[in-house]
Amino acid sequence: MTTQYVAVFGDPVEGNPTSIMQNAAFEHAGLDWRYLDIRVRAEDLQAAVDAARLFEFGGFNCTIPHKIAVIPMLDGLEPSAEISGACNTVVRRADGRLIGSNTDGSGFVWSIRDEGIDPAGLEVVVLGAGGAARAVAVSLALAGASRVTIANRTAPHRDELVGILDAKTDVEAVALPWEGTLAVPPCDVLVDCTPVGMGPGPAAEAHVDVDLSGLASDTVVCDLNPETAESAFLRLAAARGHRTLDGMGMLARQGAAGFKAWTGVDAPLEVMIKALGG
């Protein structure tokens, strides 16, 4: 039997624990599959996708900075990627076509529901407007959130995401300009979808430039950083008394969805959570 390969394409990929989680799941399920970490610079993404076709990878994940750029390189999209305009999971179909989906948003909603948080009727502030933010914002809107506010320093990206929410969901979508320190407005849930705090060394101790003093004590603060359960941002929020949720829950659940899409086998979620240190 030939080993089947999947991978993550990103820059950086150092510190991303997805390979540990997926390889533990493959071993537990008795599957001859291997998950690889592959650093791919932005200018090399097309070559990486072509290589995945050539070597008949079972699929691949895309992380920063490729979740949006990869879309025109694929043969089709599932609704999750088509609506959000971002793709984190690609599956090679039996006919060789590469089809993109987005499990980030559904993984996030799954993770907070497992923590007893129902998005329906909630007011949410999302920090960032990249691929992860698109997926999370759209999934929260489709899950019934009453208002989703997008804060981002780059106005065109922010306004584009607000436009997607306005056009494709029923949520009240709000654009929040971000210059200097952002005073986060009152909300039920705050989600950091930026890459700040990711990477090795001093970068891991950085956190987004925000003022949380306007939040009520019962606001839940989330960080999608996939590299650590104790990011600098979550430590800041916890010190103010907020309940915090790290990105590991979402990472495990979006990974479980990818595992099933690639292999056709139900993912061993508990094994994946344990591999992440949960």
What residues pair up with 182 in beta bridges, in sequence order? 210
Mean pLDDT of 130-155: 96
The question of whether 274 is a catalytic residue gets the answer: no
The DSSP call for residue 223 is E
Give the pLDDT score at 88. 94
116-134: buried (b, 16+ CB within 10 Å) or exposed (e) per residue?
A: ebebeebbbbbbbbbbbbb
Mean pLDDT rounded to a whole number for the chain? 95
Q: Answer whether residue 124 shows pLDDT above 70.
A: yes
Burial of 59 (0-12, 13-18, 19+ CB in 10 A): buried
The DSSP call for residue 145 is -
Q: Answer whether residue 162 shows pLDDT above 70.
A: yes
pLDDT digits (tens, 9 = 90+) for 82-107: 998 999 999 999 999 999 999 999 99
Give the pLDDT score at 157. 95
Question: Which of 67, 168, 260, 274 is an active site residue?
Answer: 67
Domains of the chain and CATH, by start: 4-102+250-275 (3.40.50.10860), 105-246 (3.40.50.720)
Q: How far apart are CA 20 and CA 40, in angstroms?
A: 19
* pLDDT bucket at 198, cuts 50 / 70 / 90: confident
262, 91 Cβ separation under 8 angstroms: yes
Both tokens of 43, joined, read 């200018």
Q: What is the pTM of this model?
A: 0.86
Q: Answer whether residue 22 shows pLDDT above 90.
A: yes
Q: Answer whether residue 16 shows pLDDT above 90.
A: no
pLDDT digits (tens, 9 = 90+) for 221-251: 999 998 888 999 999 999 999 999 999 999 9
Give the pLDDT score at 106. 92
